[in-house]
Amino acid sequence: MRTVVFVDWDQTLVEFRHDLGISALRGFLKKKLPPYEARFLTKWVNETFRETMRASREGKDNIRTRQSKIASKSVLNTPPEGIIYSRELWLLTGAFLHGMPLPRAIAQQAAMAYWNAIADNNEPFPDSEAFLVQLRNVDTTIAIATSSDARLRPSHGTMQYDTRYSRQQKIARIHTSPLSTLCDAIITGDPYDKTSPRFWELARRITKMGRHDRAIMVGDSYATDIVQAYREGIFTILVDRANRYKRENCIAADMVVTTLTDALDAILDGKEK
């Protein structure tokens, strides 16, 4: 019987330095826009990010619904699944709602500055490398299961979400880290995120997972990483490094740990059986 471990990337294996991304985005906008507009749009993206992440941790869809409605009126006709996390879209939406002219190319370049800063600082958590190395030593298939970065690019006067382009950009960001060489596959949320059954159909296909294989999902976000995986019959391990969650609210988590070392011990001991 084979073991397939799906593991989240940002905030599970590597630290997601949103602060450095925001700093790079602000620096780029300061070169291209008047000071007030640069400050405002940077603040807009930062506050939108924090509100979205908080809603995601709490399993609330209200902010996604609200942002989808805003986006559909301002930038895109029908935002695809997962697109709501796009930094390009956040910039263009903020500019549109407040009457600021923002060329689509500038929005894309600002978002690229953000993501490049994130990629340049893909610092692994102290327990990440040992977690992956020891899993490889026991002949485990390791697949990174990560959400889309929802990259947009200008096309024919609008912004387009190209599944292949967005996926390639996310994979390129992951490949800047040596940890990526310890994994067998990378599955991104383009166009279906981890909250969709179709993501897991793709994950099973890519990893050639059979009906008798052991499947385990390890991630830091209860709403994004854990809930749907649990519904798919996958054993779920929530990595709650900062004790953000109340255990009684995490009923879809088969196990809650504070480190990847604890997750590794559980996997190697076969506690999920």
The tens digit of pLDDT for each residue in 55-102 reads: 777 766 666 666 666 676 666 656 666 677 889 989 998 998 889 989
Instruction: Identify the structural domains of the chain with CATH numbers, from first to last.
Output: 3-14+122-269 (3.40.50.1000), 18-119 (no CATH)
* Mean model confidence pLDDT for the chain: 91
Main-chain dihedrals φ then ψ at residue 87, nearest 5 degrees: -70, -35
The pLDDT assigned to 255 comes to 96
The tens digit of pLDDT for each residue in 171-191 reads: 999 999 999 999 999 999 998
Cis before 191? omega within 30: yes
The tens digit of pLDDT for each residue in 4-25 reads: 999 999 999 999 999 999 999 9
List all residues 6 or more positions away from 56 whose beta carbon is below 8 Å from its beta carbon.
Answer: 221, 223, 224
Query: 135: left (phi > 0), else alpha (psi -120 to 50), else beta?
Result: alpha
d(CA 16, CA 46): 14
Which CA distances in Å does 53 have to 18, 211, 234? 11, 34, 24
Evaluate whether 261 touches 239 at the Cβ level (below 8 Å): no
